Structure 1
Amino acid sequence: MPVPKSEFESLPPCDFYTPAELLETDQMYTIYEIARLLQGLETDADIDRETEDILIDWAIPWVMTNADDLVVAEPRDEDEPGYYGRKD
């Protein structure tokens, strides 16, 4: 159910990182690493499975929205995820 804005102390803008702000030019990242970076965590941060699932739910749309600025690399091995990086 909706709640009035007045119930919140602060309402900052809903800004998301651009690929240039989030990713290093010469690196490729898994969706798991991107999910952590979007939350200000280190790429190898130890998080529980439930939290990781929630972060992935945010990261997938971010990748899709920024697809024009990203490149994709197929997994190097069948048990490895794909990789994403900046196009530039």
Structure 2
Amino acid sequence: MPEPKSAFDATYPCDFYEPAELFEPDQMYTIPEIARLLQELEPDAEVDPDTEAVLIDWAIPWVMTHAEDLVIAEPLEEDGPGYYGVAPHAVEGKAGGREAGEGEEESEDADPQDGA
């Protein structure tokens, strides 16, 4: 049931990390590890199952929202989890924001015959 904003003592900006800020460029992470990182915890931090479920509920939409700046790998074991990492273009564009990554994508589509 929705609650009026006046019911809360305070509200805060909904500000999340970009993948290049959250991940080490040479590492791949599972959803539970991403959930911990989003809460400024170590990827292997112990959390109780109920807390982990809530953290994962927040992490899944974050992964979907940032999909263009992520890479994914097959599970290491048949029944293991998938792994996510920051895409190279997102790391390279970290200093320049999204525009650097977008320009890189356009250059891949350029016609080599045009000399571009």
Normalised by the length of structure 2, the TM-score is: 0.69
Deviation at 1:78, TM superposition (A): 1.5
Question: In the alignment, which residue of structure 2 is the partner of 1:81?
Answer: 81
Question: Of Structure 1 and Structure 2, which has the larger fraction of its residues in helix?
Answer: 2
| Structure-to-structure mapping, 1:1-88, within 5 angstroms | 1-88=1-88
RMSD: 1.3
Deviations 1:22-76 (A, max 9, x none): 1111100000100000011110011111111111100000000000000000101
Larger Rg: 2
Q: Write the distance in 1 (CA, Å) between the matches of 2:54 and 2:12.
A: 21
In the superposition, the TM-score normalised over structure 1's length comes to 0.89
Letter in 2 for 1:31: I
Tell me which of the two structures has the higher relative contact order, counting C-alpha pairs closer than 8 angstroms and 6 or more residues apart.
Answer: 1
Q: Which AA in structure 2 matches 1:67?
A: A
Letter in 2 for 1:15: D
Question: What runs of 5+ residues in structure 1 fail to find an aligned partner?
Answer: none
